[in-house]
Amino acid sequence: MDFVVEKCPLDILKLPLVDMDRSLAYDAVNRVLVIVRTEKGYSRQWYDDIFRECPNELKDSKMCQEAYVINPELALFMPEEQISYEMVLELSKNRTSFWNGFGLERIPMKYRDYTICQNYITRISGINVKYVPDDVLDQNLCNLAMNQNGNSFGYIPARFRTYEMCLQAIQTTSVTISWIELAERTPIQYQTEEFWDAYHIRHQYFNRYNELDYNIPSRCQCKQCKNKIYTK
Ligand SMILES: [Zn+2]
């Protein structure tokens, strides 16, 4: 293992970690982290990679605190007991890297309070509404999610879907859910002529934009489709 640490430190994580080797592995990973952090020719990106890939059971508080100073986003790759609320609060305030994904799903449940959830929704992505605990989610968070990203609609529970949201979703949703699904998720009392007109227009637009030729679903209840039925 010493040979690996000296000659090709980035390969350290390719070594099998058996129980006997745990303390050796811990020393080795720490030494590698020091090397990539301090030696010329190694980038911080490599430090991040090694920290991320390192098995969680080797990450103690010393290693985690060092990592947090170097890159606060590494908190996402720490064992839960090493993550503090303050770390999560900082993360929630910044649009973070691609590692973060939508973000909230990587945050321990015990820290997903109103402030953290609202920050993740408004500052990172409305899609995070999907990961808000049931007892925290309310109408305001759902509205904020829709304002941030129309594609959040699919993750908003039926009891929080307003008519405006349904219309907005039909007018703006692109990829997350299909048109049919979208209509099915819309409560029947909201399926007005206005709703179906927007549905029809969006469907045509989608076809044109993607050079596709999907038929307008027969259940479309817009003015145009209804009239066709009557004139046949
Ligand atoms: Zn129609």
**pLDDT band with cut points at 50, 70 and 90 for residue 99:** low
Task: Single out the residue of 160, 124, 158 nearest to residue 141, CA to CA.
Answer: 160
Structure tokens at 38: 């301090």
Q: How confident is the model at residue 170 (pLDDT cuts 50, 70, 90)?
A: confident
Distance 188 CA to ligand 1 centre (A): 16
Cα(213) to ligand 1 centroid in Å equals 15
Q: What is the pTM of this model?
A: 0.75
Q: How far is the CA of 186 from the centre of ligand 1 (A)?
A: 16
> From the CA of 147, how far away is ligand 1's center (Å)?
27
Distance 183 CA to ligand 1 centre (A): 12
**Three-point CA angle 218, 223, 226, nearest 5°:** 45
Alpha carbon of 169 to ligand 1 centroid (Å)? 17
203 alpha carbon to ligand 1 midpoint, in Å?
Answer: 9
Ligand 1 centroid to 90 CA: how many Å? Answer: 47
The distance from CA 105 to its chain's CA centroid, rounded to whole angstroms, is: 6
C-alpha 11 – ligand 1 centre gap (Å): 59
Query: 184 C-alpha to center of ligand 1: Å?
Result: 15
**Torsion angle (degrees, nearest 10) of CA 181, 183, 189, 195:** 160
Ligand 1: distance of its center to the CA of 174 in Å? 18
Per-residue pLDDT of 9-44, as tens digits, reads 666 666 666 655 777 777 777 877 887 777 766 677
Burial of residue 112, with CB atoms counted within 10 A of its CB: 0-12 exposed, 13-18 middle, 19 or more buried: buried
Helix axes 61-70 and 44-53, enclosed angle (nearest 10): 150
Query: 226 CA to middle of ligand 1, Å?
Result: 7
In the block, residue with structure tokens 């890297």? 97
**Highest mean pLDDT: which range of 54-58, 131-135, 185-189:** 131-135
CA of 70 from ligand 1 middle (Å) equals 56
Contact 12, 32 (CB under 8 A): yes
Is 207 or 11 the better-scoring residue by pLDDT? 207
Distance 125 CA to ligand 1 centre (A): 32
CA distances from 160 to 52, 97, 154, 156, 165 (A): 37, 30, 11, 7, 9
* Domains in the chain: boundaries: 1-71, 84-146, 161-232
Q: For residue 179, report the distance from its CA to the centre of ligand 1, in Å.
A: 12
pLDDT band for 136, please (50, 70, 90 cuts): very high
The per-residue pLDDT for 139 is 98
CA distance 95 to 118: 13
9, 36 in Cβ contact below 8 A?
yes
Contact 136, 160 (CB under 8 A): no
How many Å lie between the centroid of ligand 1 and the Cα of residue 232?
15
Whole-number pLDDT of residue 205: 80
- Report how far residue 169's alpha carbon sits from residue 149's, in angstroms, rounded to the nearest whole number: 9
Contact criterion met (CB below 8 Å) for 224 and 200? yes
